[in-house]
Structure formats: structure tokens, C-alpha cells
């Protein structure tokens, strides 16, 4: 387990001026100066049988006006541990996230509307070969979600998973038998019970074309709005003609409804790649937060924490919907296009989602998001970046909002360890209801030092 361990302490100080710190409508704005001091710590460790990566910071701030006037503090943390405790037998995975999030999607993303959300996952696993034809794995997963405000239930979820799968090199037919049972225990809401079993197959009709499918059975009970027992099935294709393209798409009955799903990874060129996906899920908000944490990974080139589904920086909340105690059916399409050309890096990220809260047909919400980003390295020391963001939210029986962001910034490396930064952001929202409209100008300057 011994290996290289690197600790990187940092200290960031910044001063910001906002013309509308709480994002209030015209005539109700409060302008404010915000002073922030943020000590941080980065930890990277790597050995022959384990990896650890943690990024954490504590922001101490003082605000001169607005709902958060005075002294405040926020914690942000993301991290993972992967270890092989006993060679080829016992494994351990763990991950954590602490972030500031808005619980109600109809509230503005002002700091005064944010709450601390903590998500933790620990997962030991036993893995053992079954002769020369298969491998079995028995895994336990403990997920814990804590919300500081108390408006949403804390949740502890226990899950047991068993899988038996064929070895990759035995023949053209790969198969797996997967079972899962879980119990989510919530402090101020009903528990959620779930179980799934599926026999899945992957048949190589030709080298680039695989037929995929599965059949199984599922139960779900949130002791409130949703209770069913249902067979499951799916059928589709996987296209993998070369190392550049990997597309998997299927259609079937899951979560007691028919739905399509696909995942696409396409290396269009040496410096251009596209990632896209569509999926429908049935879960509580806490389960979605825990599921997102399951995809945290480490970029092998940069050492940064990323979302392994898209290769982009890890974000503890990928959907824009409410964090509450309701069970929802979420339909979500996401895509990211990344391109590098010379000293320039371009990003186009988009998504469309629909939240159908069960038992409350009037609470449906749809969200459309589009973000454009550009970064250019002017020279070895100076980097500029700019971005445009658009977010359209439609709430049933409530005003529809359209939010716009325009931002730009510059970073300058004074020394190998010390850098200056400055940025400007123009942020405004239009709405069917005038009280929901606002605009903000935000200017920030600061310095960051790595010890």
C-alpha cells in the first residue's frame, strides 16, 4: 500500500463587489462588499494497491450587506479512496462531498439561499474467481446524506449487491447475473425499499456490433406514493467499431415504465471529443445525490477530480431540480463537447431534464441548460477565459424563468506558486412574474498561493 503522498496547502484571499448580492428584483437590491479568506488542502496519494485524492477548503467571509450580512463560513470538500486491502480478494472504495447547494429550484442561486449538503459513501467488496469461466463479487454500500437546514430529511441507505459475470475472453457471448437490495432510512420521511435482479447478455454479432439485453424483476416501495412489483427487460445495441467511438443504446421496461437510454463517447478528432447520454430514473433526491458521488474519479493526466461519465470537473449536483423528500421520475439528457486548438480550449455543455414528482402532478418541472466556455493561454504566465450560460426553467402553475450569465476573467502567475486573478460577471433573469426578475454585476479580484 505504501506509495507517493503529496500534500498541497493553499491560501486564497479575494475581494468582491456585488450590485445585488441577494438577487432581488428592481428597487429591492442590496449592494455589498464580500471579503473571503480560504485556506485549502489538496491530498494525492498513489501506491501499487491504492489511490487517495482529496480537495478541501474552508471559506471565511465577511459581507457588508444583504441577508448574509456579517461573518460566515462555508466548507467544500470532494474526495475518493480506492484500495486493494487483500490482493485479488478484498477491496474498499470510499468517497465524500461537502458543498453549498440551493434546495428549492425556484429560489435564486444567491449564497443566502444555499445550505450545506454532505454526501458520504463507503463500499467494501469481496471479489473471487469462479473457476476459469466467471468471477463473483459481493459488495456492501453505505450512503449517507446530511442537509444542514433540516428542511430535508437526512438519509442513510444500506445496499447489498451480488454479481456473477463471465470472463471477457471466453467466447463471443458475455453474460452477468446481478442482484441488489437496498433500504433507505430517512429521518423525517418514510423509508424507501428497493430490490432488483437481472440476467444480462452481450453477444458479439460482429466485432464492432454487439447485441445487448437483459431480463429481470424489480420491487420498489417508498411507503407513500409509489409501490410496485414489476418484471424488467431491455434490448439494444452496442457499437464499438474502433477506439474512437463507443455507443450503447437500448429500450425496455424498467422502474415500471417503458423508456429508452443511451450513452455515447466519440473521439471526433485528436483534440475533440463528444460525450452524451439519456436516462430515466426513479429515485429520491438523496438517492440522486449519492448516485452522483458514485461517479467521482481521478484524471490520470491532470490529477484533478472529475465526473467519470463526461471527464469534466466533478460537480456534486448534476441535475437542477429540488432537493426534497419526494420520489421523482427524472428524464435527463446531457452532452458535453470539448475541443482544443493551439492555446485555446472550448467547451459546449447542454442538458434537458424533466422532474415528475410522484403523487403531485402539478409539480412537474422542466429545465433547459446551455453553457459555452473558452480558455486561452496568452503566454506561460497569463490565461484568459470567458463564458456564457443560459438556464430556462418551467414550473407547473408557477412563473417560468430564464436565467443568463456572461462572465470573463484573467489569471496571472506571479511565481510558480503564487497567482493573481480577476473576474467580472453579469447575471440577470427574466420571468413571467416581475418579482422574479433581477440583474447583478459582480467584480472579483484575488490572490492564491500554493505552499
CATH code for position 64: 2.20.200
111 assigned to some structural domain: no
Q: Give residue 312's pLDDT.
A: 85
As a whole number, mean pLDDT of residues 81-107 equals: 93
56 assigned to some structural domain: yes
**Rounded to an integer, what distance in angstroms lies between the CA atom of residue 259 and that of residue 17?**
47
CB 31 within 8 Å of CB 54:
no
346 assigned to some structural domain: no
Q: Count H helices, E strands: the chain? A: 1, 25
Residue 326 DSSP symbol: -
Residues near 135 by beta carbon (within 8 Å), at least 6 away in sequence: 127, 128, 129, 164, 165, 167
314 assigned to some structural domain: no
Asked if residue 359 has pLDDT above 80, the reply is no
In terms of phi and psi (left: phi > 0; alpha: psi -120 to 50; beta: otherwise), the region of 150 is: left
Q: Which of 398, 402, 400, 394 shows the shortest CA–CA distance to 429? A: 402
Number of structural domains (the chain) is 1
Asked if residue 170 has pLDDT above 80, the reply is no
Residue 435 DSSP symbol: G
The pLDDT tens digits of the residues spanning 55-84 come to 999 999 999 999 999 999 999 999 999 999
Asked if residue 1 has pLDDT above 60, the reply is no
7 assigned to some structural domain: yes
Of the pLDDT bands very low, low, confident and very high (cuts 50, 70, 90), residue 433 is confident
Three-class DSSP category at 440:
strand
Of the pLDDT bands very low, low, confident and very high (cuts 50, 70, 90), residue 360 is low
66 assigned to some structural domain: yes
Residue 173 DSSP symbol: E
Q: Which of 98, 109, 175, 180 shows the shortest CA–CA distance to 144? A: 98
Of the pLDDT bands very low, low, confident and very high (cuts 50, 70, 90), residue 112 is confident
Cα four-point dihedral sign 277, 340, 410, 370 = negative
Q: Which of 61, 69, 6, 5 shows the shortest CA–CA distance to 32? A: 69
**Rounded to an integer, what distance in angstroms lies between the CA atom of residue 351 and that of residue 141?**
29
Of the pLDDT bands very low, low, confident and very high (cuts 50, 70, 90), residue 398 is confident
Q: Give residue 339's pLDDT.
A: 96
**Owning domain of residue 16:** 1-81
434 assigned to some structural domain: no
Comparing 94-103, 239-248, 396-405, which segment has the lowest mean pLDDT?
A: 396-405
Q: What Cα–Cα distance (Å) separates residue 351 from each residue in 278, 335, 370? A: 10, 6, 7
Asked if residue 171 has pLDDT above 80, the reply is no
Quote the percentage of the chain above a pLDDT of 90: 81
**Rounded to an integer, what distance in angstroms lies between the CA atom of residue 347 and that of residue 168?**
35
Q: Give residue 2's pLDDT.
A: 52
**Rounded to an integer, what distance in angstroms lies between the CA atom of residue 107 and that of residue 406?**
20
Average pLDDT score over the chain:
93
pTM of the prediction? 0.92
38 assigned to some structural domain: yes
The pLDDT tens digits of the residues spanning 347-356 come to 999 999 999 9
**More confident: 317 or 296:** 296
C-alpha cell belonging to residue 168? 471477457
Q: Which residues of 42-73 are buried (b: 16+ CB within 10 A; e: fewer)?
A: bebbeeeebbbbbbbbebebebebbebeeeee
C-alpha cell belonging to residue 69? 450580512
Comparing 108-112, 282-286, 372-376, which segment has the lowest mean pLDDT?
A: 108-112
As a whole number, mean pLDDT of residues 79-104 equals: 94
In terms of phi and psi (left: phi > 0; alpha: psi -120 to 50; beta: otherwise), the region of 207 is: alpha
Q: CA triplet 364, 278, 117: central angle to 5 degrees?
A: 60
Q: Give residue 291's pLDDT.
A: 94
Q: CA triplet 14, 42, 68: central angle to 5 degrees?
A: 35
Q: Give residue 95's pLDDT.
A: 97
Q: Give residue 361's pLDDT.
A: 56
Amino acid at each position: 500500500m505504501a506509495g507517493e503522498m503529496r500534500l498541497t496547502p493553499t491560501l486564497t484571499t479575494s475581494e468582491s463587489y456585488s450590485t445585488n448580492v441577494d438577487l432581488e428584483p428592481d428597487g429591492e437590491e442590496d449592494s455589498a462588499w464580500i471579503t473571503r479568506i480560504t485556506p485549502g488542502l489538496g491530498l494525492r496519494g498513489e501506491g501499487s494497491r491504492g489511490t487517495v485524492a482529496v480537495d478541501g477548503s474552508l471559506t471565511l467571509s465577511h459581507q457588508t450587506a444583504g441577508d448574509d450580512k456579517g461573518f460566515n463560513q462555508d466548507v467544500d470538500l470532494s474526495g475518493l479512496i480506492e484500495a486493494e486491502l487483500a490482493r485479488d480478494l478484498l477491496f474498499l472504495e470510499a468517497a465524500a462531498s461537502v458543498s453549498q447547494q440551493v434546495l428549492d429550484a425556484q429560489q435564486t442561486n444567491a449564497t443566502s439561499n444555499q445550505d450545506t449538503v454532505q454526501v458520504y459513501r463507503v463500499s467494501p467488496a469481496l471479489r473471487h474467481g469462479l473457476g476459469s469461466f466467471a468471477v463473483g463479487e459481493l459488495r456492501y454500500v453505505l450512503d449517507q446524506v446530511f442537509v444542514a437546514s433540516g428542511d430535508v430529511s437526512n438519509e442513510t441507505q444500506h445496499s447489498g449487491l451480488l454479481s456473477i459475470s463471465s470472463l471477457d475472453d471466453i467466447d463471443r457471448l458475455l453474460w452477468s447475473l446481478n442482484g441488489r437490495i437496498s433500504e433507505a432510512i430517512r429521518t423525517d420521511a418514510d423509508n424507501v425499499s428497493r430490490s432488483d435482479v437481472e440476467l444480462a447478455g452481450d453477444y458479439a454479432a460482429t466485432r464492432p456490433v454487439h447485441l445487448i439485453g437483459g431480463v429481470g424483476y424489480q420491487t420498489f416501495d417508498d411507503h407513500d406514493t409509489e409501490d410496485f412489483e414489476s418484471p424488467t427487460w431491455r434490448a439494444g445495441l452496442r457499437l464499438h467499431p474502433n477506439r474512437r467511438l463507443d455507443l450503447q443504446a437500448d429500450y425496455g421496461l424498467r422502474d415500471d415504465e417503458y423508456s429508452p437510454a443511451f450513452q455515447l463517447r466519440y473521439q471526433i478528432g485528436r483534440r475533440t471529443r463528444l460525450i452524451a447520454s439519456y436516462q430515466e430514473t426513479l429515485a429520491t433526491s438523496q438517492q440522486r445525490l449519492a448516485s452522483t458521488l458514485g461517479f467521482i474519479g481521478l484524471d490520470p493526466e491532470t490529477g484533478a477530480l472529475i465526473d467519470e461519465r463526461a471527464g469534466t470537473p466533478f460537480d456534486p449536483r448534476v441535475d437542477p431540480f429540488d432537493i426534497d423528500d419526494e420520489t421523482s421520475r427524472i428524464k435527463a439528457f446531457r452532452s458535453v463537447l470539448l475541443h482544443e486548438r493551439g492555446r485555446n480550449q472550448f467547451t459546449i455543455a447542454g442538458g434537458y431534464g424533466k422532474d415528475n414528482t410522484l403523487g403531485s402532478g402539478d409539480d412537474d418541472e422542466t429545465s433547459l441548460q446551455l453553457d459555452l466556455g473558452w480558455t486561452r493561454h496568452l503566454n506561460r504566465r497569463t490565461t484568459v477565459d470567458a463564458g456564457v450560460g443560459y438556464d430556462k426553467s418551467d414550473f407547473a402553475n408557477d412563473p417560468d424563468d430564464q436565467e443568463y450569465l456572461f462572465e470573463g476573467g484573467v489569471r496571472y502567475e506571479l511565481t510558480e506558486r503564487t497567482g493573481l486573478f480577476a473576474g467580472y460577471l453579469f447575471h440577470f433573469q427574466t420571468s413571467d412574474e416581475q418579482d422574479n426578475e433581477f440583474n447583478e454585476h459582480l467584480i472579483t479580484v484575488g490572490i492564491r498561493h500554493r505552499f
